[in-house]
């Protein structure tokens, strides 16, 4: 009928209802971005078998260290096609600059395990997971070191052979573990001079409803 609405807002964000079709459609926004979380490895001895749990504990973290709004879950209505998993040891936290020897001890001993619900996405030593992020170049500043896993170039960071779908009802289960190496004679656990922040980036294409 003349003057009737072609489309009216639906009940959900980004949803429109077309009376003539009797159907609702959801408008979406696509962007390339990261699902991010960070954990802190304290100074001192890193016990064999100890774990740092990713994507679970988000309280009191701000945007530079986490992108989730709730524990283990991306926002309601969102969906991500994850095509790169990256680990990056942060160059600083606050006014503290971690030292190079601590970076080396963590990179050489830690491993990542990542699951969406119970589905294994990837697992292995963190040296496998360059993020493509970090600081490049040189500095003559004393007592300062910047280091990344791989080179700071997104083009050089490997991608997953098959992009992995992450939905808003999936639990992101990630952890960084420090297994022992008893097969090495006189093996000693890593001992850190200072604390280090470790970030995990799940990079991909994000789909979110318009109007959220």
177 in Cβ contact with 29 (< 8 Å): no
- d(CA 32, CA 132) in angstroms, rounded, equals 14
pTM over 0.85: yes
Residue 59 tokens, joined: 């309280």
199 in Cβ contact with 35 (< 8 Å): no
Share of the chain above pLDDT 70, in %: 90
pLDDT band of 212, cuts 50, 70, 90: low
Pick from 73, 40, 1: nearest CA to 200: 40
Q: Per residue in 32-75, pLDDT tens?
A: 999 999 999 999 999 999 999 999 999 999 999 999 999 999 99
Strand pairing partners for 61?
A: none
pLDDT band of 2, cuts 50, 70, 90: very low
The more confidently predicted of residues 176 and 96 is: 176
pLDDT of residue 1 exceeding 60, the answer is no
Return the domain boundaries, the chain. 29-209
Q: Per residue in 122-132, pLDDT tens?
A: 999 999 999 99
Q: What is the DSSP letter of 105?
A: H
């Amino acid at each position: 009928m003349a003057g009737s609405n072609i489309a009216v807002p639906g009940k959900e964000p980004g949803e429109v209802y077309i009376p003539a079709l009797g159907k609702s459609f959801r408008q979406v926004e696509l962007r390339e971005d990261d699902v991010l979380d960070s954990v802190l490895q304290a100074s001192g001895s890193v016990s064999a078998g100890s774990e740092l749990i990713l994507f679970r504990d988000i309280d009191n973290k701000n945007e530079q260290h986490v992108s989730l709004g709730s524990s283990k879950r991306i926002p309601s209505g969102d969906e991500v096609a994850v095509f790169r998993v990256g680990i990056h040891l942060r160059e600083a936290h606050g006014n503290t600059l971690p030292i190079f020897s601590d970076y080396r001890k963590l990179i050489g001993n830690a491993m990542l395990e990542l699951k969406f619900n119970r589905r294994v996405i990837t697992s292995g030593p963190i040296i496998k997971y360059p993020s493509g992020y970090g600081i490049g170049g040189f500095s003559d500043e004393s007592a300062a070191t910047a280091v990344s896993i791989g080179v700071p170039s997104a083009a050089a960071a490997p991608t997953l052979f098959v992009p992995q779908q992450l939905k808003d009802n999936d639990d992101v289960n990630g952890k960084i573990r420090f297994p022992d190496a008893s097969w090495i004679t006189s093996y000693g656990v890593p001992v850190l001079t200072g604390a280090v922040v470790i970030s995990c980036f799940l990079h991909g294409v994000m789909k979110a409803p318009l109007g959220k």
